[in-house]
Amino acid sequence: MRARIETELGSPDILVTNAVGQYEWKPLLQQPAEDYASQFASAAIQNVLMAQVFIPAMIHKRWGRIIAISTECVMQHNPGQSAYVAGKRGMDGVLRGLACEIGEHQITVNQVAPGWTISERDRASGSQKQDHYDKNVPLRRRGEDTDIANAVAFLASDLANFITGVFLPVCGGNIMPGI
């Protein structure tokens, strides 16, 4: 992948990671251990591998942006989400450690944590409105895919030049990390 990207586009300055394996959500006592392993691999290990492949060139340039897509779920801990949350929490640990290790090279590492976001699939099916979800969000609605893209674009820009190690919820206030 690195060779193809470098051949077609050159060495990337901005890396956005957004991978997660799909599985059936079940209560922890019924969730197969393999689902925890797959979530850790797709969220945490995937970020380790991407960092190892692409960050050396960023270090050489003394500039770069790493932006990972997390989820509001990591702060909710809803029933049936334990494997997903565990994988994303592992990703958080990897990324915060990475932010400390590579910051001196002027590379930032941040996370965007979407809420339940409206996508093209929702628009096509007419399922944008979800009253059971919307009623608990302070803004009383789901976000749009463009809301997530705008947060990523901000963190990738020079406007976020002095922001690193951030977990940025983009969820209408559905979660509000404390200090």
**Per-residue pLDDT of the chain in tens (179 residues, 90 and over written 9):** 889 999 999 999 999 999 888 889 999 999 999 999 999 999 999 999 999 999 999 999 999 999 999 999 999 989 999 999 999 999 999 999 999 999 999 999 999 999 999 999 989 999 899 999 999 999 999 999 999 999 999 999 999 999 999 999 999 999 999 88
| Domain extent at residue 91 | 2-170
What CATH number is given to the structural domain containing 58?
Answer: 3.40.50.720
Task: Say if 179 falls within a structural domain.
Answer: no
Q: 117: closest CA among 49, 159, 71?
A: 71
Q: What are 109-150's pLDDT values in tens digits? A: 999 999 999 999 989 999 899 999 999 999 999 999 999 999
Q: How many domains in the chain? A: 1
Task: Give the helix/strand (H/E) hosting 36.
Answer: helix 33-40
Cβ atoms 110, 88 nearer than 8 A = no
In a domain, 83, yes or no: yes
Catalytic-labelled residue, pool 23, 36, 84, 133:
84
Reply yes or no on whether 84 is catalytic.
Answer: yes
Taking the CB of residue 64, how many other CB atoms lie within 10 A of it? 23
Considering the domain boundaries, does residue 116 fall inside one? yes
In a domain, 177, yes or no: no
Domain assignment of residue 178, yes or no:
no
Does a structural domain hold residue 23? Answer: yes
